[in-house]
């Protein structure tokens, strides 16, 4: 995995069955070190009225990776990948390593 900005959906999933796409994200910015001293965490709130497409908004923030608790649908993953954003679910080894590195698990 590369360093840079990582988005983590507030409730763990990119979508909700009743409300659509997640709007609140933890945005983790790493400074390139393996230790966690160089990271900053902020909250990002997506407003579909200002930026209609979630992948575009994340890309504008400089997010290169998303880590979710549940695996998104294939079409959503494809859309994110086309925007330059890699999607990892908690079950993947890469996501576990990243979350451990960020001291989230």
Q: What is the pTM of this model?
A: 0.81
Predicted pLDDT at 27? 94
Q: Report the DSSP beta bridge partners of residue 28.
A: 6, 41
Predicted pLDDT at 56? 92
Q: Packing angle between helix 74-82 and helix 54-61, nearest 10 degrees?
A: 40
Q: Where are the domains of the chain?
A: 5-101
- Fold category of 5-101 in CATH: Nucleotidyltransferase; domain 5 (3.30.420)
Predicted pLDDT at 38? 61
Predicted pLDDT at 58? 95
Residue pLDDT, tens place only, 71-97: 888 898 999 999 999 998 877 887 777
Rounded-to-integer distance, Cα 83 and Cα 74, Å? 14
Residue pLDDT, tens place only, 17-63: 888 899 999 999 876 555 555 678 899 999 999 988 999 999 999 99
- Residue 1: pLDDT above 50? no
| In contact, 68 and 88? CB cutoff 8 Å | yes
Rounded-to-integer distance, Cα 45 and Cα 31, Å? 22
Residue pLDDT, tens place only, 7-30: 999 888 898 888 889 999 999 987
């Amino acid at each position: 995995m590369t360093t840079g900005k990582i988005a983590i959906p507030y409730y763990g999933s990119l979508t909700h069955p009743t409300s659509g796409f997640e709007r609140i994200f933890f945005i983790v910015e790493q400074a390139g070190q393996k230790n966690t001293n160089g990271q900053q965490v902020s909250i990002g709130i997506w407003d579909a009225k200002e930026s209609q497409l979630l992948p575009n908004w994340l890309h504008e923030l400089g997010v290169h990776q998303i880590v979710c608790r549940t695996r998104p649908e294939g079409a959503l993953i494809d859309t994110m990948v086309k925007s330059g954003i890699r999607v990892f679910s908690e079950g993947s080894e890469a996501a576990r390593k990243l979350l451990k590195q960020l001291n989230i698990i």
